[in-house]
Amino acid sequence: MGLGLGDPREKLLATTLWPTGELFLVASRNATLGDLVVSDSDVAHCPLAGVGQDSVCHVGPRIIWSGAQNGLSGHTIDGLMVLGE
């Protein structure tokens, strides 16, 4: 999947994929997703375009939940469930 992780050492720690093709993810510490740098206490959102190995973010990824703003700075999220509407 072409998410744009900028370094081979960066990896996904937790993900949730909705049937609508929206991916919510936590990447390893200070990972680069396209132009966005996320920490391992942030949840990023990436609406996918396409399926399978060639999937990319339809709109650039964005942080939808910041660990630093919610008291989790310095902690790692290693499990994720995002509930919809």
Confidence bin at 34 (pLDDT 50/70/90): confident
Tokens of 50: 């396409």
Task: Tell me how far apart the alpha carbons of residues 52 and 66 are, in angstroms, rounded to a whole number.
Answer: 28
How many domains does the chain contain in total? 1
Task: Report yes or no on 76 lying in a domain.
Answer: no
Kindly state the average pLDDT of the residues 8-28.
Answer: 85
| Residue 16 in domain | yes
| Residue 13 exposed, middle or buried by CB count within 10 Å (0-12, 13-18, 19+) | middle
* Average per-residue pLDDT for the chain: 81
Structural domain span for residue 43: 12-70
Token output for 65:
């939940």
Does residue 36 lie within any of the structural domains? Answer: yes
Beta strand residue intervals within 1-85, DSSP E: 12-17, 22-27, 31-33, 36-38, 43-49, 56-57, 62-65
Q: Per the domain annotation, does 52 fall within a domain?
A: yes
- 5 inside domain: no
**Length of the chain as a residue count:** 85
